[in-house]
Amino acid sequence: MTEIVARTRHGRVRGTQTPDGLRFLGIPYAAPPAAAGRFAAPAPHEPWDGIGDATRYGATALQPDRGVTIIPEPLVAGDNCLNLNVFTPTLGGAGLPVLVWIHGGGFFGGCNASPWYVGSSFNRDGVVVVSVNYRLGAEGFLVLPDAPANRAVLDWIAALEWVQENIAAFGGDPSRVTIAGQSAGGMASATLLGTPAARDLFRAVACLSGSVSLGPSLERAGQVARSLADHLGITVSREAFEQVGDAALLAGQQAMMNQRPPGQDAAALAAAMARPGLPFAPVLDGEVVTQSVLDAVATPANKHIPVLAGVTANEFDMVLRDAWWVTRDMLVSALGTLTGQGAAQAERYLDRHRDRTPAEVAGQVITDRTFRLPMHALLAVAPAGYGYEFRWAPDSGPFAGLSVHCLDLPFVFDLLSADGVAEVAGSAPPQPLADAMHRAVTSFVKDLTPGWARYEPDTRLTMIFGGHGGTGQGDLEPDPLALERSMWDGRWPS
């Protein structure tokens, strides 16, 4: 590999030339959080002399070691998690479209150093990729009375501002930026539609497996802050939280996230199937984030911004797979509690999934309420929306028969040989499916359309990838969630 140097407004950086393109890793886009305060807004980075090293991934945000996750996500030590990576086919004034990628991880984990986020295939097809790290958990999202709210959102804005100021030096066009992400990253991308400070920093949004309303209300966020402070034995103030050590803060976060309803009955099942709220996530604070996602995507100020939104068919179905105690009668009762409808509607839903156990169907309910229905709600109000569902599933391995959360990512990035893919997708994931998925996203970034008709509220046309045993792009399917929407009858988002 050959070293190569590029210039940013802060100073020069040394990257690496590979057979796939140019890589600049771990470039700081803001000062280390400790410099201004872990619970402060991001501060500008000071210029540096000489040439900064951008040949290795930068530090990851403070987070628990989650062990083995579906996506390989290494933890990298260091003092500045506010860094980004640039993958580009060339330097200089090429004017290429730019994909800014925000990683997932439930807003408490994840990083931009995953081998599943390498931008080489996008570079091959003439797209610059920028992948962003940001503050997670309490540091990024805890609402405190004397600290700016939505600090992680401010991190995303700072990264987008860096792109506007610097991406031309890396071959990108700052007027052709698409923000995208998966899971929490998809929710982040959609959240930026309701963030006035970000309004002129991108031209399109791709929301992959990102729900629209898992964040806490401002009231609930205040309760989380008080509970966390009580757990740590401190006051609810920025000064007090600044003094908490990393290990103690992470332990407190986990305590807030591990609260689960007890029991093995219909009431406990209903509680488990209710869409899981996230204690640490963007909040509608009225200053940084001023609109909900659904209001923001429909606002006239965003009418020119196309939205690509998609899900996998069985995102979180595995969550209750081992809940052996779930019976059909219990599931019917729990669905009645959640939907407010009678047993007949629940029986129709179970009949659709007659080949699955009650516990697996309960997992499908979580998938529908958390991802599939919110995706269709988002597209129904988007002036220029495009929807898809990824249905391919491996025939062996731990996720056999399920199109689970994150499975689509190696196909989107066209990285089927990357580390960790075989463990999730099997030894021979279909390359034609990767070709189709990657082509659609590349087309959206380049031309603002993935190559199929817009989603309209009267038809709800949704592109199917890998359906019915197929291994590529299928057909547009009208209203694939008609039964689910009628069953919930507006009782979501809750």
pLDDT tens for each residue of 55-72: 999 999 999 988 778 999
The pLDDT value given to residue 109 = 96
pLDDT tens for each residue of 227-270: 999 999 999 999 999 999 999 999 999 988 876 666 788 888 88
pLDDT tens for each residue of 29-49: 999 999 989 999 999 999 999
In the set 10, 376, 405, 438, the catalytic residue is: 405
Q: Is 405 considered catalytic here?
A: yes
Distance from C-alpha of 382 to C-alpha of 296, rounded to nearest angstrom: 9
% the chain with pLDDT above 90: 76
In the set 73, 139, 315, 484, the catalytic residue is: 315
Average of per-residue pLDDT across 424-444: 96
Unique residue bearing structure tokens 């960790």: 420
- Phi, psi angles (nearest 5°) of residue 218: -60, -35
Number of Cβ within a 10 Å radius of residue 402: 22
Q: Is 10 considered catalytic here?
A: no
Distance from C-alpha of 118 to C-alpha of 87, rounded to nearest angstrom: 7
Q: Is 209 considered catalytic here?
A: no
**DSSP conformation letters of 66-97:** --S-SS-------S---EEEEEES--EEEEEE
| 425 and 413 Cβ atoms separated by less than 8 Å | no
CB within 8 Å of 339: residues ≥ 6 apart: 345, 346, 487, 488, 489, 491
pLDDT tens for each residue of 117-168: 999 999 999 999 999 999 999 999 999 999 999 999 999 999 999 999 999 9
How many angstroms separate the Cα of 403 from the Cα of each of 111, 234, 425, 444, 490? 23, 44, 9, 23, 26
- Phi, psi angles (nearest 5°) of residue 237: -150, 155
Using DSSP's 3-state secondary structure scheme, residue 2 falls into strand
User: Average model confidence (pLDDT) for the chain?
Assistant: 93
Classify residue 489 as exposed, middle or buried by CB count within 10 Å of its CB (0-12, 13-18, 19+). Answer: exposed
Dihedral in degrees, nearest 10, Cα atoms 119, 124, 127, 128: 50
Q: Sorting pLDDT into bands at 50, 70 and 90, what band is 401?
A: very high
Q: Evaluate if residue 275 carries a pLDDT over 70.
A: no
Distance from C-alpha of 383 to C-alpha of 395, rounded to nearest angstrom: 38
Q: Is the peptide bond before 42 cis (omega within 30 degrees of 0)?
A: no
DSSP-derived letter for residue 467 is G
Number of Cβ within a 10 Å radius of residue 74: 10
In the set 183, 189, 211, 292, the catalytic residue is: 183
Q: What is the pTM of this model?
A: 0.96
pLDDT tens for each residue of 439-472: 999 999 999 999 999 999 999 999 999 987 788 8
